[in-house]
Structure 1
Amino acid sequence: MTLYPRFFAHLDRALDTLVARGDLPAGLERRAITVEPPRDTTHGDLSTNAAMVLAKPARTNPRALAELLVAELAGLPEVASASVAGPGFINLTLTDDTWRGELTAIADAGDAYGRSQVGAGQVVNIEYVSANPTGPMHMGHCRGAVVGDALASLLEWNGARVIREYYVNDAGGQVAVLARSAHLRYREALGETITIPEGLYPGDYLVPVGQMLAAEFGDRYVDAPEEEWLALFRTKTVAAMLEMIRADLQLLGIHHDVFSSEADLQAAGKPEAAEAWLRERDLIYDGVLEAPKGELPDDWEPVELPLFRSTKFGDDQDRPIRKSDGSWTYFGADLAYHFQKAQGADQLIDIWGADHAGTVKRIVAAVQALTEGKTRFDVKLVQMVRLLRGGEPVKMSKRAGNFVTLADVVNEVGKDVVRFTMLTRKADAQMDFDFAKVVEASKDNPVFYVQYAHARVHSLVRRAAEAGIAEDANADLSRLDTVELALVKRAAQFPRVVESAAAAREPHRIAFYLYDLAAEFHAAWNLGNDDPSRRYLQVDDPALTQARLFLARAIGQIIRNGLAIMGVEAVEEMK
C-alpha cells in the first residue's frame, strides 16, 4: 500500500477508536475526508480535513475533534509531529525514514507503482475520435484521439476494464456525398478529365480509392444511373476511408476495440427498440414542437413528431427523435447508439469536439432515461488546435484539400511530441501547436523537459558505471538528506494524482504533474553546478552515489509510469 492510502487507513482506525470510545457517533459519512499535501509545505507533509467534515454531523467543535484525532495520530511511528491548524485542519510531519520507506516502495513496485484497484469491477466504455469517414484525420481529431486514449489508459491504471470505441457515422448524407466524390475519381482513373463541383470532397486522398474502384469494376458504372452504384460505392469508399483512419490512428499508437456502424445500428432496428422502450415508460410522446422564436420562416408549419421528454431530465426542451418524413434525427440515432453501449458498460464517456456542446444536455438526458440513472455518463469537450509555424498559421494540405492532416504532423515531429503536447492543456481550453516550439530544447517545452529528466537519470547510471560504481538495491538511504527527500515527497504523490485524474476524467493532470516532478529533479541536479557536494555522482563516496542513484532511478520510474499512461515513450538518450 502506497503512502496516501496507508494514511487514509491510519485515519480510519483513529476515527474507529474515537467511535469505540464514545467520543464520536457511529455511522458518520467519511467520503468527503481528504488526506493530501498542504498547500504550504511549512505546515508539514500531510493535511486532513477529517475534523472539519465530521464535526457538524457529530455536533461537536471541529477543533476539539481535531485535538482528539491528533492525540491518536501523533502516536504513529511514521509521524514526527501532528498539530491542529486554524478552525480544525490537522497537519502531519512524517519521519525521514517514512519517506525513505516510500522510496523503496517505488523501487519495489516498479512499473506497477501508481496502479490501483479503485475502479476494479467497473466496465467503462470510452467513445473517442468518431470522425465522419469522409477523409483523413486532421489535428482536431488528433486532440480528441489523444485525450480519449490517455483517459482509457488512466482508467485502466485504476483497475477498470475499458472498452475503446469508435462510432462510424456512415448513415448520413455526408457518406452519399463521399460516394459521389469517389465516383468522380473512379471516372478519372478510367481516363476522364473531371472537375470537382462545389459540395463534393476535393482531396487527393480519394484518387487511390477511384483507382481501386476502376480496377474492380472497370467501366461498368461510368454512365450508369446513380441508383445502380451509389450504395455500392458508399460501402466500398467508407471501408477504404476506415482503413485510412486506422492507419492514421496507428501513427499515434491508438487502437480501438470496437468500431460501431450507425448504418448497422439502424439496419438492426436499434432505434425502434429504444423508442419502444421509452414509450413503455411514457418518455416519448407524439407532439408538436414550439415554433422557432422570432420571425417564422415561410416554410415552417406545425408537424406532429415523436418527442423525447428531455425536459424531465434537465434539458430546456423536448427533442424529436424522427423527422417529418419518418427518418431518424441525429438525436434519435444517437439515443439508440447510447442505449446499445449502456448494455455492456457500467460507465459511458464520450469525447466530443467543442462544436457539439449544444447537444450535450439532450444526450445526458437520454442516457439518464435509458439507464434509469444507474450509468455514470460524462461528455468531455475538446477544443480545436490551431497549427502554427514560428507563430504563423500553417498552410493547408493539398492531399486533404482543406486542412492539415494528422499524418503530416506526426511524420514531422513524431508521435511522442504530438501525444504529450495534446495533454499539456485542459481538453476544453484552446490550444496552439507551434511546430517550432514543440521541438524546442528548453524548459518552456514540457515534452523536452520531462524527457530530458528521464534521459538524465540514464546518463547518470552510465557515468556511474564508467566510474566503477554499480547500482545497489540495498543502498544506504540514510545518506539522503532533506533536499533529496523533498523529491521523494513529490514522487510519492503520483498514485494520488493518478487516482484523482481518473476520478475527474482529466488525463492532462498527469502531464502537469510530470512537468513539476521534472522541474524539481532538474533543480536538485543543478545545485551541483555551484556546490560540488550536491552532485549526484561522487566518485570518492560510492555509498552516497549509490543512494542518489537509487533516488534518481525512482524519479525515472515515476516519469516512465506517467508517460506510459500518456502513451509516450520514455527515452534514455536525447538526440
Structure 2
Amino acid sequence: MNLFADIRALVVSTLEGMARDGVLPEGLDWSNVAVEPPRDAGHGDMATNAAMVLAKPAGQKPRDIAEALAGRLTADDRVASAEVAGPGFLNLRLAPGVWQGVVATALSNPGYGRSDMGQGAKVNVEYVSANPTGPLHVGHTRGAVFGDALAALLEYSGHEVTREYYINDGGAQVDTLARSAFERYREACGEEPEIAEGLYPGDYLIPVGEALKAKYGTDLLGKDEQYWMAEVRDFATEMMMDLIREDLAALGVKHDVFYSEKSLYGTGRIEEAIADLQEKGLIYKGVLEPPKGKVPEDWEPREQTLFRSTAHGDDVDRPIMKSDGAWTYFAPDIAYHFDKIERGFDQLIDVFGADHGGYVKRMNAAVAALSDGRVPVDIKLTQLVKLWKDGEPFKMSKRAGTFVTLRDVVDQVGPDVTRFHMLTRKNDAPLDFDFDKVLEQSKDNPVFYVQYANARINSVLRRAREGGIDVSDATLAAADLSRLDHEAEAKLMRTLAEWPRLVEIAARTHEPHRVAFYLYDLASDFHALWNRGNDEPALKFVQEGDAVATQAKIALARATGVVISAGLGILGVTPLEEMR
C-alpha cells in the first residue's frame, strides 16, 4: 500500500473521467501529475499540481480545472475536502479512516513499504574497493556503509542487486606492499627491517612477515627481488584481503563478488574492451594538450593511444596506453566495466571516495560508449569524515601508521552506531563523527532517538502482555482503530503513510540517508505522542479498564515499530528492544 500512489491514481482516473465527459480535451499526458505532502501541513494532507501542469495543454485556466477536479474528488469516500489554493493548486484532506487504515495495513502486510518499482532490474553496486595494502580507514567506512545501505534499499524497492568489491591488485601499489611485507619477513627472521620512504610502515604487516617466515623459513633471505616478488606479492595481498573482509564483517558488510583487477591482465580482457571501442571509432593515436594551469616540469608532448571520451561528454580525451606500450590505469577500469556490462546488468553504481571526483566524467563516458548508452552508471562520491573525541581531532592509529582505521571506529562505538551516524548526512556532504556525541543519550543523537522509540514501543507491548492483552499483529490490525481520533495520533499516522513513498524516492535518487532522516522524524512524532500522554491520560498507550482503546493505541505503537524496524534493516542497524 502506497497511499500517495493510491490518491494519485484516484486523481488521474478522475481526470480521465473529466476528459471522457468533455470537461478536458482527450489525449492529455498525465505523467507530470503529482500528489505530494503540501509544503505547509496546515494546508491539508496532500496536494496535487494537476491543474497547473494541465492548464496549458488543455487551453484552460488552472483554477477552472482545479475547481472541477475538486468537485469530483470529494465524491470519493477517502477525500474529506478539496480546496483550491493560489493559482490552481489543489489541497486535499483525507477522511480519518484512511489514516487508520494505514495502521491496519502496516500490521497485516509484512511487506508494508516494500516496492516493485525496480521490476527486477539487475543492479551492480560496487563499493569500498580499497587497495589491498592495509586495513580499511574511516573514509572507507563511510563508503562501505553507504554502498551497503544503498544495495539494501534497492533490494527493498524491487531490484536484483549484486554487491561487488573491485580488488586493485594489478598496479604498482601491490609491489610496494610486497616490499613492505618482505621487510617484516626479515624482521621475523631476526634482521633489522628497513622501512624506507614510500613503504607501508604500519604494524599490521608484522603478522604477514611472521606468516611468510612460517611458510618459507629463511629461504628468501638474501635473494634478489625478482626471486621472491611474485610469491610475496600474492601472499601479502591475500592476507590483506582477509584482513579487509574481517574489517567489513565487523561492520556487518558483505559482498557477493570480489573481482580481481589482476585477472584482467594477460587474459585478453583489456584488449577486448579496447577493441570494442576501436570498432566504434573511439580509439586513436594523438597528442594531448598540456594540463591547464601550471604545467609540470617533466611534461612533454608524446603520442599516446587515446579514448575519444569527449564524444560522450568528457572534457578531454583520455590516454589508455602510454607511449611505451603499457596500459594506463584507466584501461583496466574500462575493461572491468565492460565485463559488468557483459554480465547483463541493467544499471551500474560505483561508490568512490571524494578524491575520485576527477574520474566521474571519464567513467561515465566509457560506460556510455561500451553499452551504446543502454546501461546507465551512477558514480556516487562519499566526502571526508572528520573524527573528534573529547573536543579534539581523533589521533591516528599506531597500528595503521598513518590513519584511523575502520576497526578503531567500530571498537569505540559499535557497528550499529557507526552505520547509522554515517548516514546522517548526504553522501557528498562532509561528515563530523564525534565519538562522544554519537553515544550521547539525547534527542540530538539520531541513532539514540530512533532506538529509544523502538525500545519504548517494546516496553508498551511487554506491559500490555503482562496485563493479559492480546497484542499479536493480527489482533491489533482488527482493533477498532476509529479510537485513534486525536490530532497527535493522526500526525503519527500521516508520517507512517509516507514510508512507502519515501522508499521509492530514496531508491530512485540513490540516497539512503533519506531513510535515516525519515526514521528520525517518525521517532520524533512517536516521542511527542508519548510525552503528551504524560499530560493527557487519554493519549496513553495503555488505557486502564478500556481494552478496546488500549488495543487501538497499541496498534499505532506497534505499526510504528514495524516501520522503524524495516528502516533500520535497510540501514543495517539492529533494532534495540530495550535501552541500557
TM range (shorter): over 0.9
Contact 1:390 1:437 in 2 (8 A): no
Cα displacement string for residues 75-118 of structure 1 (whole angstroms, at most 9, x for unaligned residues): 111111112211121111110111111110111113x1110101
Per the alignment, residue 240 of structure 1 pairs with: 239
* 1:539 and 2:544 aligned: yes
Per the alignment, residue 188 of structure 2 pairs with: 189
CA distance, structure 1, for counterparts of residue 419 and residue 311 of structure 2? 40
CA distance, structure 1, for counterparts of residue 297 and residue 567 of structure 2? 58
1:469 is displaced (CA, Å) by: 3.2
Cα displacement string for residues 98-149 of structure 1 (whole angstroms, at most 9, x for unaligned residues): 1111110111113x11101010131111110001000011110000000000
CA distance, structure 2, for counterparts of residue 415 and residue 146 of structure 1? 10
1:298 is displaced (CA, Å) by: 4.9
Per the alignment, residue 438 of structure 2 pairs with: 438
CA distance, structure 1, for counterparts of residue 293 and residue 8 of structure 2? 58
Contact 2:28 2:54 in 1 (8 A): yes
Which stretch of structure 1 is more off in the superposition, 171-180 or 293-302? 293-302
Q: Which runs of 5+ in 1 are unaligned?
A: none
Contact 2:130 2:167 in 1 (8 A): yes
1:300 is displaced (CA, Å) by: 3.2
Q: Which amino acid aligns with 2:353?
A: G
Per the alignment, residue 125 of structure 2 pairs with: 126
Per the alignment, residue 222 of structure 1 pairs with: 221
Per the alignment, residue 5 of structure 1 pairs with: 5
Per the alignment, residue 572 of structure 1 pairs with: 577
CA distance, structure 2, for counterparts of residue 125 and residue 119 of structure 1? 13
| SS of match in other structure, 1:151 | helix
Cα displacement string for residues 441-494 of structure 1 (whole angstroms, at most 9, x for unaligned residues): 000000000000000000011122333433243321111113212211011100
Q: Percent identity?
A: 57
Cα displacement string for residues 64-84 of structure 1 (whole angstroms, at most 9, x for unaligned residues): 222232222111111111122
* 1:138 and 2:137 aligned: yes
1:56 is displaced (CA, Å) by: 2.0
CA distance, structure 2, for counterparts of residue 297 and residue 40 of structure 1? 56
* 1:485 and 2:490 aligned: yes
1:296 is displaced (CA, Å) by: 5.1
CA distance, structure 1, for counterparts of residue 519 and residue 292 of structure 2? 50
CA pair 45-244 structure 1, distance change in 2 beyond 3 A:
same
Contact 2:131 2:167 in 1 (8 A): yes
Contact 1:538 1:545 in 2 (8 A): yes
1:387 is displaced (CA, Å) by: 1.1
CA distance, structure 1, for counterparts of residue 102 and residue 293 of structure 2? 65
CA distance, structure 2, for counterparts of residue 448 and residue 293 of structure 1? 49
* 1:526 and 2:528 aligned: no
CA distance, structure 1, for counterparts of residue 60 and residue 328 of structure 2? 57
CA pair 78-295 structure 1, distance change in 2 beyond 3 A:
closer
* 1:290 and 2:289 aligned: yes
1:335 is displaced (CA, Å) by: 1.5
Q: Which amino acid aligns with 1:376?
A: P
Q: Which runs of 5+ in 2 are unaligned?
A: none
Per the alignment, residue 425 of structure 1 pairs with: 425
Contact 1:205 1:399 in 2 (8 A): yes
Per the alignment, residue 494 of structure 1 pairs with: 499
| SS of match in other structure, 2:428 | coil
Per the alignment, residue 301 of structure 1 pairs with: 300
CA distance, structure 2, for counterparts of residue 107 and residue 113 of structure 1? 8
Contact 2:2 2:501 in 1 (8 A): no
Q: Which amino acid aligns with 2:493?
A: V
| SS of match in other structure, 2:432 | strand
Matches within 5 A, 1:74-153: 74-110=74-110, 112-153=111-152
CA distance, structure 1, for counterparts of residue 289 and residue 406 of structure 2? 42
| SS of match in other structure, 2:561 | helix
Per the alignment, residue 49 of structure 2 pairs with: 49
CA distance, structure 2, for counterparts of residue 69 and residue 383 of structure 1? 46
CA distance, structure 1, for counterparts of residue 377 and residue 156 of structure 2? 20
CA pair 303-62 structure 1, distance change in 2 beyond 3 A:
same
CA distance, structure 1, for counterparts of residue 292 and residue 107 of structure 2? 64
Normalised by the length of structure 1, the TM-score is 0.97
CA distance, structure 2, for counterparts of residue 24 and residue 307 of structure 1? 56
1:351 is displaced (CA, Å) by: 0.6
| SS of match in other structure, 1:267 | coil
Which stretch of structure 1 is more off in the superposition, 508-517 or 479-488? 479-488
* 1:456 and 2:456 aligned: yes
Dislocated runs of 4+, deviation >4 Å? 293-298
CA distance, structure 2, for counterparts of residue 296 and residue 35 of structure 1? 54
1:419 is displaced (CA, Å) by: 0.4
Per the alignment, residue 401 of structure 1 pairs with: 401
Per the alignment, residue 166 of structure 1 pairs with: 165
Per the alignment, residue 327 of structure 1 pairs with: 326
Q: Which amino acid aligns with 2:479?
A: A
| SS of match in other structure, 2:321 | coil
CA distance, structure 2, for counterparts of residue 155 and residue 284 of structure 1? 35
Cα displacement string for residues 264-291 of structure 1 (whole angstroms, at most 9, x for unaligned residues): 0123222211111111111111111113
Q: Which amino acid aligns with 1:359?
A: Y
CA pair 542-297 structure 1, distance change in 2 beyond 3 A:
closer
* 1:353 and 2:357 aligned: no
| SS of match in other structure, 2:109 | helix
Per the alignment, residue 368 of structure 2 pairs with: 368
CA distance, structure 2, for counterparts of residue 140 and residue 368 of structure 1? 28
Normalised by the length of structure 2, the TM-score is 0.96
1:313 is displaced (CA, Å) by: 1.9
1:55 is displaced (CA, Å) by: 2.1
